[in-house]
Amino acid sequence: MNNNDTTAVLSPISEPAVAETTEAQPVQTSVATQTAKPATDKAGKPAPEKKRSGRLSDAKRFKIFCGSANRALSEEVCKFVGVPLGETKMQRFSDGEVYFQLLENVRGADVFVIQPTSFPVDQHLVELLIMIDALKRASAGRITVVIPYYGYARQDRKDRPRVAISSKLVADLLTTAGANRALLVDLHAAQIQGFFNIPVDHLFASPVLVGHFREMKLPNLTVVSPDAGGVERARFFAKKMEAPLAIVDKRREDINVSEVMHVIGDVKGRTCLILDDIIDTAGTLVKTVDALIAQGALEVYACASHPVLSGPAVERIAASPLKQLVVTNTIPLQEAAKKVDKIKVLSIAGLLGRAIESIHMETSVSTLFN
């Protein structure tokens, strides 16, 4: 490859590791009809048999790599589990094609690849597929894709004529590329797990969010689901918070366009906490806040796992009467959002780290939900 054909490096370039040296093995020539004789030393005695070491480095058997989508989260996870982030080389050709190379041995290793498919979604998805392919061709023992934010999840059924089911397509792409297992966080719809033909572990960010709001001790709290699709998620959250549940009846006119109809449940004189999985343009969020305040809510907070925050989202949140928006770092927060004081980010590195340890040690992941 000509060095002039590449552009900016997306991840740090490290010098390739020096190849491991092995002891030279005696060359044996044999003929089909000739019987092999046992090796002897100079005294004519049988040479002692060389045995391989029974010890294997833990670091060699357990490796974590990441793409360019959320390196900061990957480094946090590695720090939590005590495993160094794997060395890779990622560049782009002048036309945008991805060039990826592993800079360390992964043969037989249990490998985890951390890469949310956030904006730019197509770019990060292709990066992930190429990384999986490289690991497969390098003879990794098992490849687990850790996708904190699963892109294309919102198209999970045919709700209109002649539309794609993109969440199923992405699942097929990951499996075909060579993934053996998937670790996902707060899917838009739980049934997406069934789109995979490999084992899937589905984590929820709710333990992190619940812990935060318990410490706040909000008075007269009511948990609110912004639509009917999120009722199950909100009901679980409300149970953990020991709070009643309210639901907003919402009709979606088009993609990123919704209209709040009315609030189901008593929110008058109460503190409301809106729970959602994704906040994209924040149109639904600000309309829900307005509807709750119109129904007599005193204060409105909101939380979500994935802060997509595209288009006018940041401006809408900043201008709304929303008291605070709490999100996790499944997706890196854009610079404009970092300047808004009412947006707070919680880390899920510990949650992912414990799940990765459980998968590697073949122990139960479900205990993380308790």
Neighbouring CB atoms inside 10 A of 39's CB total 11
Catalytic residue check, 250: yes
* End-to-end CA separation in angstroms for the chain: 51
Question: Cis link prior to 321 (omega < 30° from 0)?
Answer: no
Would the CA dihedral through 350, 182, 13, 124 be positive or negative?
Answer: negative
Please name which of 127, 187, 181 lies closest in space to residue 152, comparing C-alpha atoms. 187
Classified as helix, coil or strand, 3 is helix
Structure tokens at 213: 């709001």
Q: Which two tokens stand for residue 271?
A: 């503190």
The owner of tokens 């390739």 is: 16
Look at residues 79, 74, 83 and name the one whose alpha carbon lies nearest to residue 116. Answer: 74
Asked if 109 and 61 count as a contact pair (C-beta separation under 8 A), the reply is: yes
Structure tokens at 307: 């802060």
DSSP assignment of 269-286 equals: TSEEEEEEEEESSSHHHH
Considering 50, 79, 250, 342, which one is annotated as catalytic?
Answer: 250
The SS3 assignment for 136 reads helix
Which residues are marked as active site? 250
